[in-house]
Amino acid sequence: MATPTELQDRPRVLIVGGGYVGLYVALKLQKKIANAGGIITLVDPLPYMTYQPFLPEVAGGNIEARHAVVSHRQHLKQTELIQGRVTSIDHANRTAVIAPSDGGENFEIPYFDVVLAAGAITRTFPIKGLAEKGIGLKTIEEAVALRNKVLDSIERASVMTDPAERARALTFVVVGGGFAGIECLTEMEDLARAAVKNNPRIKQEEVRFVLVEAMGRIMPEVTASQAEWVVEHLRSRGIEVLLNTSLDNADGSLKLINLPDKTPAQEIEADTLVWAAGVQANPMVRSTDFPLEPRGRVRTLPDLRIGGDEGIVENAWAAGDIAAVPDLTGKGLPDGTCVPNAQHALRQAKRLAKNLWASRWDKPMHDYKHKNLGAVAGFGEWKGVANINLLGRIGLKGPLAWLAHRGYHGMAMPTVERKVRVVGNWVIRFFAGRDTTQLLDLDNPRAAFVAAATPAPKPVVTPAPAPEADAAEKTKVDPKQPVSADAK
């Protein structure tokens, strides 16, 4: 095994981020770079890559949480892995500063090539109370917490006697009508239905789900007619859909406003607030000397090299949500760049790996160009919508769309080992039903042990007051004295 000093001396490809792009670039290049005498170093605060399209199914209890992530250690055997964050990059001197996840001292690391693959973070707004009350759906931890929150809320509400408290516990609000928000909302609603069936103290009509969307329509990834069908489908399940509505305040009750006229819409008492109103490029790119575009993404050429007004930045690459990659098909965002989704990230990573390797040997590089295959979304068991671009545009609804959703994402899940685990979850779910087992105290796993190991306080014994002496004398009876009839 190479020593740290030997690793420092080897030409390094530094990969910043271990998501879709980082994982696939490392998978495709680690053996080639190692055989050529170099080293790939991947830096990420997490020891795994999260397949984010499966987060709603984790929240709904269809997929085991660990099966929706891919271990870096298990699959990147020839890659140097560092758990930490890249806090800054000085590309002019080919160095990066890393902050270890364990809180240790920051250190510098040299590199030959750098790949920016730090992805995106949840986009939020300065709404009072949002940080304290809300939860996103960007990490596996958030998905697990949401699943347990739904189940815990139903259990707690079932023994509440105060109608207002009960209604608040059974109200779930999701802000954001894109794919992530709709899939999260519908999977949670499916999970709640299954939990209510097992709890005779709760009626389904008591459970309230609300979708809040600032635009006049939901799911811009599908056609307008499909989006209208989705709204009808949600309302048929008892889900309230509030369009042209925004969350104005989350401190206490949730205060909503109508966006067209900026007037108050309504107040909702809810214990659960899910924020799924979009993403933004990881802000770590602001601590680099790379050119950025107005939305905060690093400017990228079609061949995935970083480049700006002053030309190409040699030995610097970027892809995925952190990069403004030109969409050569003309079907991307209004600014001409690729839509930030998993479909593009996976394919850009493979093209980036090929181009980076070709650049080492002065071979031709190719531009990234990928026709969008469409969009698929699952809304719980046997429900979904899909817009597939194969031989023309094919629109699907209901069970067929749900099967297309599972088929596509089952194939897109990285590594054969994880595909098998995910499909195994689905098979078990089909025969055994949805698992609504509630897991408690995940945020405080030592609670039971601490309670058992803490000595119980000794009971305080208060001595009875001593009788007064004179009262004792008055009531004292001489056994030799005869007892009067009155005393008897």
**pLDDT tens-digit profile of 360-371?**
999 999 999 998
Q: What mean pLDDT is predicted for residues 333-344?
A: 90
pLDDT tens for 111-134 read 999 999 999 999 999 999 999 999
Which one of 341, 372, 403 terminates a domain?
372
Question: In which domain, by residue range, is 100 found?
Answer: 12-123+280-372
Same domain, 107 and 128: no
What CA–CA distance (Å, rounded) separates 125 from 257?
Answer: 15
Residue 488 CB neighbour total at 10 angstroms: 5
The answer to whether 293 and 324 are in contact (CB under 8 A) is: yes
Q: What mean pLDDT is predicted for residues 477-484?
A: 53
In a domain, 113, yes or no: yes
What CA–CA distance (Å, rounded) separates 288 from 290?
Answer: 6
User: What pLDDT does 9 receive?
Assistant: 65
What CA–CA distance (Å, rounded) separates 455 from 412?
Answer: 53
Same domain, 118 and 130: no
State the CATH number of the domain containing residue 318: 3.50.50.60
Same domain, 56 and 178: no
In a domain, 453, yes or no: no
What CA–CA distance (Å, rounded) separates 79 from 110?
Answer: 16
User: What pLDDT does 341 receive?
Assistant: 87
* C-alpha triplet 114, 117, 123: angle, nearest 5°: 140
Short-list 272, 66, 261, CA closest to 167? 272
- Residue ranges with strand state E in 29-182: 39-44, 48-50, 69-71, 79-90, 95-100, 107-110, 113-116, 120-122, 134-135, 171-175
In a domain, 55, yes or no: yes
Short-list 302, 324, 320, CA closest to 368? 302
100 beta partners? 84
In a domain, 251, yes or no: yes
Same domain, 231 and 311: no
Out of 18-32, 140-154, 429-443, pick the least confident.
Answer: 429-443
SS (H, E, C) 2-68: CCHHHHHHCCEEEEECCCHHHHHHHHHHHHHHHHCCCEEEEEECCCEEECHHHHHHHHCCCCCHHHH
Q: What mean pLDDT is predicted for residues 266-282?
A: 95
Q: How confident is the model at residue 326 (pLDDT cuts 50, 70, 90)?
A: very high
In a domain, 457, yes or no: no
What CA–CA distance (Å, rounded) separates 219 from 190?
Answer: 20
The answer to whether 304 and 291 are in contact (CB under 8 A) is: no
Same domain, 288 and 353: yes
Identity at 453, one-letter amino acid code: A
* Residue 394 in this model has a pLDDT that exceeds 80: yes
Identity at 104, one-letter amino acid code: G
The answer to whether 179 and 375 are in contact (CB under 8 A) is: yes
Same domain, 116 and 167: no
- Residue ranges with strand state E in 286-364: 298-299, 305-308, 311-318, 323-324
Q: How far is CA 139 from the centre of its chain?
A: 3
Same domain, 39 and 146: no
* Residue 2 in this model has a pLDDT that exceeds 50: no
Which one of 250, 277, 304 terminates a domain?
277
Same domain, 188 and 248: yes
Which run of H or of E encompasses 242? strand 240-242
95 beta partners? 90, 110
* Residue 219 in this model has a pLDDT that exceeds 70: yes
Same domain, 268 and 147: yes
Same domain, 305 and 259: no
The answer to whether 385 and 397 are in contact (CB under 8 A) is: yes
Task: Give pTM, 2 decimals.
Answer: 0.89
Same domain, 177 and 251: yes
Out of 93-107, 132-146, 191-205, 452-466, pick the least confident.
Answer: 452-466
Q: How confident is the model at residue 461 (pLDDT cuts 50, 70, 90)?
A: confident
Q: What mean pLDDT is predicted for residues 145-165?
A: 97
Q: How confident is the model at residue 223 (pLDDT cuts 50, 70, 90)?
A: confident
Kindly report the backbone phi and psi dihedral angles of residue 50, in degrees, each rounded to the nearest multiple of 5, phi listed first: -100, 125
In a domain, 64, yes or no: yes
Please state, rounded to an integer, the average pLDDT across all residues of the chain: 91
389 beta partners? 393
Out of 161-175, 196-210, 460-474, pick the least confident.
Answer: 460-474
Percentage of the residues of the chain whose pLDDT score is greater than 90: 79
Which one of 247, 277, 307 terminates a domain?
277
| Helix (H/G/I), strand (E/B), else coil: 374 | strand
Q: For residue 294, what are the CA distances in angstroms to 119, 247, 291, 318?
A: 17, 25, 10, 17
Short-list 147, 211, 202, CA closest to 175? 211
Q: Which residues of 102-130 are buried (b: 16+ CB within 10 A; e: fewer)?
A: eeeeeeebebebbbbbbbbbbeeeebebb
Q: How confident is the model at residue 5 (pLDDT cuts 50, 70, 90)?
A: very low
Same domain, 300 and 245: no
Kindly report the backbone phi and psi dihedral angles of residue 41, in degrees, each rounded to the nearest multiple of 5, phi listed first: -120, 125
In a domain, 431, yes or no: no
In a domain, 67, yes or no: yes
User: What pLDDT does 469 receive?
Assistant: 53
User: What pLDDT does 440 receive?
Assistant: 83
* Residue 297 in this model has a pLDDT that exceeds 50: yes
The total number of structural domains in the chain stands at 2
381 Cβ partners below 8 Å, 6+ apart? 190, 402, 434
State the CATH number of the domain containing residue 136: 3.50.50.100
